[in-house]
């Protein structure tokens, strides 16, 4: 629950005014958190000028005091950082440290979620990546073959993908290293799990920024999602219930390529109202 240290509280009402669910009021000139409609968003902890609010549900060690040097990012540098990011499919034969993977997940953990549900979880695959790779390629090949065997007016648009999936598995069976067109020989995969596509995608976006800041590279594998979701064998291997939704699959490693500039994009379509 959320708690207020009455000795520290000065009754400024900042937490009262900032509480989106109106769960805080003043009692005898002190903030009182009712813990009835509270969603544990932590705004009251962040806004209090006297550091009078705390909770016993999360680690208060996560709380950091604001200072400009550590918290502010120059807007032009941030925009350039975003522009310079590239999806990486060419990785060095080098392990990714668990400490760096943990920091990437931290970026996801502190990303906002609807109603502060914090319903995003993660699966990290390193040691079991070889077996998983083969399972994914086999699943894609089976889906591709099924599509090719049942082409009609609705499915003909997927013919190119179906042929590609079958060929990917054939190439892999001939040369597992050269034929890896799922993970591209990356040493680590991080799955972002959530029943909310929005929450999972928001976390993934911040995680990608952290990945790049750590000198790593990543790409989001849509083929993995297609092969894994609904496949009991793969979901069991991942330790996931079939009802769980894999929102993104981040393939992570050290880039074996160096980009020298940003790339152009289409002009943004904007309607000013």
CB-count burial class (<10 Å; 0-12, 13-18, 19+) for 59:
exposed
- Annotate 192-220 with three-state secondary structure: EECCCHHHHHHHHHHHHHHHHHCCCEEEE
Contact in structure between 200 and 115 (CB atoms under 8 Å): no
Q: Where are the alpha helices (DSSP H) in the chain?
A: 14-18, 43-47, 68-71, 75-84, 98-109, 129-149, 159-174, 197-213, 222-228, 232-237
Range of the domain at 44: 2-62
Point out the domain boundary residue: 18, 36, 62.
62
Together in a domain, 142 and 53:
no
Whether 179 maps to a domain, the answer reads: yes
Together in a domain, 178 and 148:
yes
What pLDDT, on the 0 to 100 scale, is given for residue 153? Answer: 87
CA quadruple 74, 78, 84, 86: dihedral, nearest 10: 150
Global pTM value: 0.94
Tens digits of residue pLDDT in 247-260: 999 999 999 999 99
Together in a domain, 125 and 39:
no
What percent of the chain has a predicted confidence (pLDDT) above 70? 100
Point out the domain boundary residue: 31, 62, 93.
62
Tens digits of residue pLDDT in 230-253: 899 999 999 999 889 999 999 999
Tens digits of residue pLDDT in 83-125: 999 999 999 999 999 999 999 999 999 999 999 999 999 999 9
Together in a domain, 35 and 15:
yes
**Sign of the Cα pseudo-torsion (80, 259, 180, 154, in order):** positive
Whether 247 maps to a domain, the answer reads: yes
Contact in structure between 131 and 237 (CB atoms under 8 Å): yes
């Amino acid at each position: 629950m959320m708690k207020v240290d009455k000795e520290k509280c000065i009754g400024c009402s900042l937490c009262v005014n900032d509480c989106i669910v109106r769960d805080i009021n003043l009692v005898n000139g002190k903030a009182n958190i009712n813990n009835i409609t509270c969603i544990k968003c932590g705004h009251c902890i962040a806004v209090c000028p006297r550091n009078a609010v705390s909770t016993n549900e999360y680690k208060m060690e996560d709380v950091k005091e604001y200072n400009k040097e550590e918290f502010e990012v120059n807007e032009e540098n941030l925009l350039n950082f975003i522009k310079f990011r590239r999806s990486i499919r060419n990785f060095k034969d080098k392990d990714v440290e668990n400490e760096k993977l943990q920091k990437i997940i931290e970026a996801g953990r502190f990303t906002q979620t609807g109603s502060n549900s914090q319903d995003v979880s993660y699966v990290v695959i390193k040691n079991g990546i070889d077996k998983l790779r083969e399972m994914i390629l086999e699943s894609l090949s089976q889906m591709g073959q099924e599509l090719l065997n049942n082409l009609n007016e609705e499915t003909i648009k997927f013919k190119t993908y179906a042929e590609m999936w079958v060929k990917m598995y054939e190439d892999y069976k001939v040369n597992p290293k050269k034929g890896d067109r799922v993970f591209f020989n990356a040493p680590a995969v991080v799955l972002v799990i959530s029943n909310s596509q929005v929450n999972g995608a928001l976390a993934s976006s911040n995680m990608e920024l952290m990945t790049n800041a750590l000198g790593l590279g990543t790409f989001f594998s849509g083929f993995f999602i297609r092969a894994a979701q609904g496949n009991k064998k793969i979901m069991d291997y991942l330790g996931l219930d079939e009802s769980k939704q894999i929102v993104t699959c981040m393939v992570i490693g050290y880039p074996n390529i160096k980009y020298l500039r940003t790339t152009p994009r289409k002009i943004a379509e904007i309607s000013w109202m």
